Amino acid sequence: TPTMELAHELGIELEIHEAWLWHEKGRVLDSWYKRMKEARDLLDTGDEDDSAARDLVKSTYVAGIGMLDYRGRHDQLAIWAPHRHDHIVAKSRANILRRILQIGEAKNRWPVAIEKDAILYTSDSIEGVDAWPGDPKHFGRGLGQFKYEATAQVTEHLEFLTGSGPYRGKSHMQELI
């Protein structure tokens, strides 16, 4: 659904051959999401121990979303719901693409590579807030915000920016702490 909504927003009409439809809908993961968000916000203090705990909260929600689509012995998991997992991933992907398009159209700044939720922009600055081409309110450590992860000199990273095949250079960048 999120992918189809984005295509429609962009004026792309796709022919649907087959679909799973639900006539009722609900936000069954809202209370879980709110608890995870509150914990992350509470632990976003800059304190080293809080930062470690915040990383554990992130691991918890990432694993939780992953369990929705667990391909092993899913018959033993009460939360197995691959359609929910796929919807979460599609919603995230569509929102990332919306932000890329918004920045590109507003600032004429386009990423040089994308790997899942990592978007690479070129910049003269290695300071995250200065390098971020979008609205500052979309930059930070909160859910749905973009975070500054790593940097590399373009001249040393060209081998990964070929335009052929998927981008594989993220692990070759220098993480910033």
Give the list of residues 6+ apart from residue 20 with CB closer than 8 angstroms, or none. Answer: 83
CA 94/CA 47 separation, integer angstroms? 33
C-beta of residue 132 within 8 angstroms of C-beta of residue 148: yes
Which phi and psi angles does 119 have, rounded to 5°?
-115, 125
Phi, then psi, of 146 in degrees rounded to 5: -95, 135
Cβ contact 89:68 at 8 Å: no
User: Each residue's pLDDT tens digit in the chain (177 positions)?
Assistant: 899 999 999 999 999 999 888 888 888 889 999 999 999 999 988 899 998 999 999 999 898 888 888 776 766 777 788 888 898 999 999 999 999 999 999 999 999 999 888 899 999 988 888 889 999 999 988 878 888 888 888 888 889 998 888 888 888 887 654
113-115 and 150-151 beta bridge pairing: unpaired
What confidence score (pLDDT) does residue 121 get? 92
- Do 172 and 159 touch, CB atoms closer than 8 A? no
